[in-house]
Structure 1
Amino acid sequence: MNQTFKKAGYLFAAVSFPALLWAQQPTKNLSLNEAIELGLGHSKKLMLSDAAIEQAEASLTEAKDAKLPDLKVSGAYLYLAQPHLNIKLDLGGNSDSDDGSSSDDGSSSSSEMPKVHQAVYGMVSASLPLYAGGKINNSIKSAEYITKATKLDAENDKEGVVQNIISAYYNLYKADAQLKLVNENLRTAEQRVRDFSNLEANGIIARNDLMKAELQQSDMELAVLDAENNRKITNFNFNLLLGLEDSTQIIIDTNAVGTPAQIEGLADLVGMAKSNRFDYLATVERSQAALYNTKVVQGNKLPTVALTGGYMAADIPNALSAYNIVNVGVGVSYDLGALYKNKSKERSAKTQEKILDIRRQQLEDDIQTEIFQAYNDYNHQLKRLDVLQKAIEQAEENYRIVKNKYDNALATATDLFDADVAQLQARINYANAKADAAVAYNKIYETVGVLNKKVHNIHQAQ
């Protein structure tokens, strides 16, 4: 007897421990707007976008630095070995004999060379560009447009991240709704088994009907296990997306799925996209950058003019000292080779302009396609909601009729269970459709480029 109780205790612990462990996990109540804020702050994609902006701004600063003067400092210290020199100079115009006669005062005509063992010199040179064929200013303009485009890319990435968070949030909503409904059906199935057991014990129904009820209960238990597993996986993925601990159990706002909202007309949405789609605006900025880059390349054929200046000092002990050697001037440089080497570079730059213009046109077509698909998908989801609402009413009425027939021995237990399953499936389908409609609604504004702005405005209104 004690052994039986021990086995029962072990079985209870094995079954209850996972549920107890799940119950002890940290929970977090999370509204949709809170989820979006967390997701935006944790997104690796947006971190990469920020890094790209920093890189573009650094390139812009580098382009502006080309306007600053170049300043170079150089110097050297040299050790010199004693040289052997034999210098013969006729400084006085005398034509004395080659054997080296003495001067009138008796001194030797050769002079002793100074002993030089070291030399030191230093130089400072500066150059300020006055004219570079417009390359400096055009490079700055090109870098400015690239920086703007990179920032617009980041905003476009943000739109996609917000939509992903919304989709994940409603996936969790669907998982919760399904788990709730199958749990309710499981409780109904358990109660039915108890009722059928009493009826079968009193000989009112056949043993076969009780077995069918027990089989349906087992099916519901499996459905609950599947729903719980789906909920855990969805919750885990959402934690990763938001940067929360893996074990955090997220509790979402069940009122997040409200009444379907009205949207603007298709033509209005397309018009909004041209002034709000960040990827389209970024393409326009890159086209401008390419235009100025072409001007930079064309500037290679023009001369460059720079203001130059320098300072030099040198000291050779026992021989020479030179200080305050200052020079100021204007330097001109003209690369004649660019007249025939630059043609291919100009052609490449012009081709890049053409490519970006075609991409812009292609993006315009893609935007219209995306908006059309999102617009029609949302309207499709609204129609599905109407149909599924009627399906719930039909399934509930069908179950009521079949239940009444079964109670009067006019329908089989199989008919009753089929009607019950149909009722459950109709409710699950409707809950999923509500979430899908909410995702489709937000998808429209992502394709227009105002999703983040719209969510932010809603958050402020709340």
Structure 2
Amino acid sequence: MIERKIKTLLLALFLPLAMQAQTVYTLAQCRALAQENNIQLRRGRLEIQSAQELKKEAWMKYFPTVTANGTYFIAPDHLLQEEVSLSTDAQHKLAGIITALGGNPAVLASLPTSYTLQAVKHGTLVSLMAMQPIYTGGRIVNANRLARVQTEVKELMLQQSADDVSRTTEMYYNQLLALYEQEKTLDAADQQLAAILKDATHAYEAGVVNKNDVLSVQLKQNDMAINRLKLQNGISLTKMVLAQYIGKAGENIDIDRTLTTQLPPPSELAVVHSSALEQRTEAHLLDKNIEANHLLTKMKRAEMLPTLAVGVAGMYQDLTNKGRFNAVGLATLSLPISNWWGNRALKRQRIAEQIAIDEKENSRQLLLIQMQSAYDNFETAYKQILLARKSIEQAAENLRLNRDYYEAGTGTMTHLLDAQTRDQQARNQYTEAVIAYLNSRTAYLIATGRGSQR
């Protein structure tokens, strides 16, 4: 007895602290956290940044290409060497020139008739060149357009991933919510069994029934206790999964346990599927796929066209210990002659473009089927809620009648316990129907391009 009081006291002391440390999240908060912390979405954001950098890189192709080169060299021997010999005729002519200038031609006899000219043993070469493309067959323009399309594709894929993360978050959230509702139903069932056990015990003590009725209720309570243990384990595990998914792994989280009663019929959310198709991320991706392939076809065609560029180059050279600067204008024209008969990439790309066009129509039809399937599931879930509500009313009335019959001595404990089980099952079925409704509603909203509006 003393030990039980100590446990009760400790529970009273530490339970408020545990509850205080627990953070309660709504569905909207869970979605926001999942969007912020999901690794797939973070990678998608980085891919968008990478695509934007590629877009900037493609834009720079409009500007001149500037290159600078600098070279200094030194050789073990002169690069230019030339042997020069004076012929007899040259010597006579040179003597005549010296005589005409008033000199003595005899001086030539003391000079060698062969010479070695040497030059350029080390030197410096520096150049700066800028080339501006004038005509490239559309490669630069289409490359920039393709970079823009690739960025838009990454953004659409990020939105697609965001919808998937939002839907998965809600599934985990609703799964935990369903377990909490089952716990509430179990609490109500425990109270019902406690009342039935009390009545059975009084009837047994009065000699109206035998002890078998009391034992039947106690066995039922044991089964309920086992189910509660399993349910608590399921709650604990589901909380861990949800916490990990929203980036709160290891934290003691909880959710808003209110099961919504706002369950409008699917007709209020229905839209014309052919119109909603234009809002689907997948439909936009199909359009972008065609646009990208069309641009790639133009770029492949541009590889068969000439390119023209003009530019200017400044050069400085110092080969003879005397620097010199010069500037020249440049113009280049390139003709890809071998591409005219050997390049098959253009034909392959035209085929890829046609495949993208054919795939679009087929995929749009599949998206329409998906929308209809999502709506059918949504409508089925709503009808299951209506049936579950009737089942709860019928099961409650059946339980009331069987309890009255048992107390009047005209019913059996077996029938009463069966009625109690059916009442519990009816309540759990209603919870499952509501959760299925919520999940199917989100699936339908996403399927019709409206995201998870809830």
Cross-structure match for 1:447: 447
Map of 1:87 onto structure 2: 83
Q: Which stretch has the larger CA shift, 104-113 or 394-403?
A: 104-113
* CA distance in 1: counterparts of 2:88 and 2:316, whole angstroms: 33
Q: Supply the distance in 1 between the matched residues of 2:215 and 2:48 (Cα, whole angstroms).
A: 67
- 2:324 aligned counterpart, secondary structure: strand
Q: How does 1:3-22 map to 2 (within 5 A)?
A: none
Using a 3 Å threshold, how does the CA distance of structure 1 residues 451 and 91 change in structure 2: closer, same or farther? Answer: farther
Percent of aligned pairs sharing the same letter: 19
- C-alpha distance 398-323 of structure 1, shift in aligned 2 (>3 A): same
Deviations 1:266-310 (A, max 9, x none): 6x3313422210121021012111101101100111111011221
Equivalent runs, 1:153-172 vs 2, <5 Å = 153-172=157-176
TM-score by length of 1: 0.86
TM-superposed CA distance for 1:142, in Å, is: 1.7
One-letter amino acid matched to 1:293: L
**Change in 2 beyond 3 A, CA 1:359/1:85:** closer
State whether residues 260 and 438 of structure 1, in contact with CA within 8 Å, keep that contact through their aligned partners in structure 2. Answer: no
Alpha-carbon distance in 1 for matches of 2:378, 2:134: 60
Q: Name whichever of 27-36 and 301-310 sits farther off.
A: 27-36
CA contact (8 A) 1:143 1:289 kept: no
Q: How does 1:48-447 map to 2 (within 5 A)?
A: 48-83=43-78, 85=81, 87-90=83-86, 94=90, 104-106=106-108, 108=111, 109-110=113-114, 113=117, 117-263=121-267, 268-316=271-319, 319=320, 321-342=322-343, 344-447=344-447
TM-score by length of 2: 0.88
Structure 1 residue 11, shift from structure 2 partner: 12
* Aligned-pair CA distance for 1:69: 1.7
C-alpha displacement at 1:61, in angstroms?
2.1
| Distance change in 2, residues 1:29/1:257 (3 Å) | farther
SS at 1:451's partner residue? coil
* CA deviation map 1:47-101 (0-9, x unaligned): 122122122222222222222222222122222324595512559961669xxxx
| Shift in CA distance, 22/429, structure 1 to aligned 2, threshold 3 Å | farther
3-state SS, counterpart of residue 294 of structure 1: helix
Q: 1:47 to 1:146 in 2, by over 3 A?
A: same
Separation of aligned partners in 1, 2:261 and 2:17: 26
| AA aligned opposite 2:32 | E
Deviation at 1:166, TM superposition (A): 2.0
3-state SS, counterpart of residue 134 of structure 2: strand
Whether contact under 8 Å (1:38, 1:242) holds in the other structure is: yes
Q: Residues of 1 paired with 2:405 and 2:17: CA distance?
A: 42
Tell me: CA distance 1:336–1:89, structure 2 relative to 1, closer, same or farther (3 Å): farther
Deviation at 1:328, TM superposition (A): 0.6
What is the match of residue 99 of structure 2? Answer: none
Whichever residue aligns with residue 83 of structure 2, its letter is: I
Counterpart amino acid of 1:402?
Answer: N
**Matched-pair contact (CA < 8 Å) for 2:277–2:368:** no
Q: Deviations over 1:2-57 (max 9, x none)?
A: xxx89x779979xx89x969955832222222222112111222112212212222
Structure 1, residues 389-419: CA drift from partner, whole Å, max 9, x if none? Answer: 1111111111111111111221211111000
Counterparts in 2 of 1:24 and 1:445: CA distance versus 1, 3 Å: closer
Structure 2 CA distance for aligned equivalents of residues 235 and 114 of structure 1? 88
Aligned residues of 1:179 and 1:224 also touching (Cα < 8 A): yes
Q: Which moved more, 1:59-68 or 1:236-245?
A: 59-68
Gaps of 5+ in 1: 456-462
Asked if 1 retains the 8 angstrom alpha-carbon contact of 2:72 and 2:122, the reply is: yes
In 1, Cα distance between equivalents of 2:316 and 2:189: 97
Amino acid at match of 2:392: I
Question: Residue 62 and residue 115 in structure 1: after superposition, are their counterparts in 2 closer, same or farther (change >3 A)?
Answer: closer
Change (3 A) 1:11 1:357: farther
Tell me which residue corresponds to 2:97: none
- Would you say the 8 A contact 1:257–1:435 is kept in 2? no
Rounded Cα–Cα distance in structure 1 between residues aligned with 2:426 and 2:129: 84
The secondary structure found in structure 2 opposite 1:308 is: strand
After superposition, the CA RMSD in angstroms is 3.0
SS at 1:259's partner residue? coil
Contact 1:67 1:136 in 2 (8 A): yes
Q: Which runs of 5+ in 2 are unaligned?
A: 94-103
Cα 1:193–1:122 change in 2 (3 A) is same
Q: Which shows bigger deviation, 294-303 or 85-94?
A: 85-94
Q: Is the 8 A contact 2:149 2:288 kept in 1?
A: yes
Aligned positions, number = 439
